[in-house]
Structure 1
Amino acid sequence: MSIPALAGVCTYVEAAQPGYTVEENVRRLVRCAWIQKRAMETGLYWLNPTPEWEVKEALSLHLYQDAEHARLIRARVSEMRNPPPRMDVSPDLALDRFFDELLAARDTLEKIAGLYGVLRPALLDAYRAHYGGSNPLVDFPTRRIVRFMIVETEDAVQWGEQALAALTETDADRQRAEAWMAHLRAYLDAAGGIAGDVQPPDQLPAPRAAGDFVPDFFPQRDDRFTGRWNFVFPPHEVARTEGVSVEEKTLALMCKRTLEMDVPEAMARMIAEAEGMPWEYYVDMARQLWDEARHAMMGSVYFEALGVDWKHEIPLHPGFALRLNQHMDALDAHAVLYTIEQSLMPAKTGKRYEWETAVDAHDPLAALFQDYDWADEVLHAQVGRRWLLDAHKLSRDAVVKLGQQRATESEADLAQYAAHGEQINWWPDFVRRVLGQESAMHDYALGTADPVYRAAE
Structure 2
Amino acid sequence: MNNYRPLHGLPELAGVATFADAAGPGIGVQECVDRLKCFHYALQRTWQVLLTRIACEPIYELKMGYSYHAHLVAEHITLLRDRVGELRHPPLRLHRVPDQNLQILFDEIRNAPNCGMLMEGLYRVALPALYESMKQYGEDTNPLTDSPSLRLLRGIIPELEDMIQWGEASCVALEEVGQGQHEDLLEWQQELNGWLAAAGGLAGTSEPAAPPEPRYSRGEFSYDSTPKRDERFPDPYNMGVHAEEFLHDTSFESRDKVFMMFFKRLREIDVPEMMASILYETVTGRGEEKGSKRPWGFYRDMTRQLWDEARHAMMGEVGFVRSGISWPSKVRINFTWSKGLNQQLTPRERHAVLWFIEQGLMSKNGKRFEWEVGTDSGDAFSELIQDFDWADEVLHARIGREWYVKDFETTEDASTYGNACWDKVVSDWEKWRKDGLTEHHNWWPDLYREVCKNRGEEPDPRVLAYDRSYAETRADLQKIDGDG
Return the TM-score normalized by structure 1: 0.94
Q: Is the 8 A contact 2:241 2:467 kept in 1?
A: no
Matches within 5 A, 1:9-24: 9-24=16-31
What's the counterpart of residue 236 of structure 2? Answer: 228
Closer, same or farther in 2 for the Cα pair 1:15/1:336, shift >3 Å? same
Task: Write the distance in 1 (CA, Å) between the matches of 2:238 and 2:401.
Answer: 33
Which stretch of the first structure deviates more once superposed, 137-146 or 439-448?
439-448
The gaps in structure 2 that reach 5 residues or longer are: 1-7, 283-290, 454-458, 480-484
What's the counterpart of residue 441 of structure 2? Answer: 424
What's the counterpart of residue 109 of structure 1? Answer: 116
CA deviations over 1:61-84 (Å, ceiling 9, x no partner)? 111111111111110011111434
CA deviations over 1:176-209 (Å, ceiling 9, x no partner)? 4323222222222222221012333334134222
Q: 2:475 aligns with which of 424, 444, 451?
A: 451
Q: Is the 8 A contact 1:327 1:413 kept in 2?
A: no
Q: Is the 8 A contact 2:101 2:211 kept in 1?
A: no
What's the counterpart of residue 317 of structure 1? Answer: 334
Which stretch of the first structure deviates more once superposed, 243-252 or 189-198?
189-198
RMSD across aligned C-alpha pairs, in angstroms? 2.0
Task: Write the distance in 2 (CA, Å) between the matches of 1:73 and 1:158.
Answer: 23
- Partner secondary structure for residue 196 of structure 1: coil
Closer, same or farther in 2 for the Cα pair 1:450/1:116, shift >3 Å? farther
Q: Is the 8 A contact 2:325 2:450 kept in 1?
A: no
Q: 1:405 aligns with which of 411, 414, 420?
A: 420
What's the counterpart of residue 288 of structure 2? Answer: none
Q: Is the 8 A contact 1:30 1:91 kept in 2?
A: yes
Residue identity matched to 2:321: E
What's the counterpart of residue 385 of structure 1? Answer: 401
Closer, same or farther in 2 for the Cα pair 1:176/1:316, shift >3 Å? farther
Higher Cα radius of gyration: 2
Residue identity matched to 1:296: A
- Partner secondary structure for residue 208 of structure 2: coil
CA deviations over 1:353-373 (Å, ceiling 9, x no partner)? 110101101010011000000
- Partner secondary structure for residue 425 of structure 2: helix
- Residue-pair matches, total: 453
Q: 1:250 aligns with which of 228, 246, 258?
A: 258
Q: Is the 8 A contact 2:56 2:228 kept in 1?
A: yes
Matches within 5 A, 1:321-340: 321-340=338-357
Which stretch of the first structure deviates more once superposed, 292-301 or 207-216?
207-216
Q: 2:275 aligns with which of 243, 267, 279?
A: 267
Shift of 1:151: 0.9
Q: 1:306 aligns with which of 323, 333, 354?
A: 323
Closer, same or farther in 2 for the Cα pair 1:406/1:75, shift >3 Å? same
- Partner secondary structure for residue 95 of structure 2: coil
- Partner secondary structure for residue 281 of structure 1: helix
Residue identity matched to 2:171: L
Answering whether residue 369 of structure 2 is matched by residue 362 of structure 1, we say no
Q: Is the 8 A contact 1:234 1:427 kept in 2?
A: no
The gaps in structure 1 that reach 5 residues or longer are: none
Closer, same or farther in 2 for the Cα pair 1:435/1:403, shift >3 Å? farther
What's the counterpart of residue 395 of structure 1? Answer: 410
Q: Identical aligned pairs, as a percentage?
A: 36
Shift of 1:173: 1.4
Task: Write the distance in 1 (CA, Å) between the matches of 2:449 and 2:323.
Answer: 14
Q: Is the 8 A contact 2:54 2:276 kept in 1?
A: yes
Task: Write the distance in 1 (CA, Å) between the matches of 2:93 and 2:108.
Answer: 25
Which stretch of the first structure deviates more once superposed, 14-23 or 306-315?
306-315
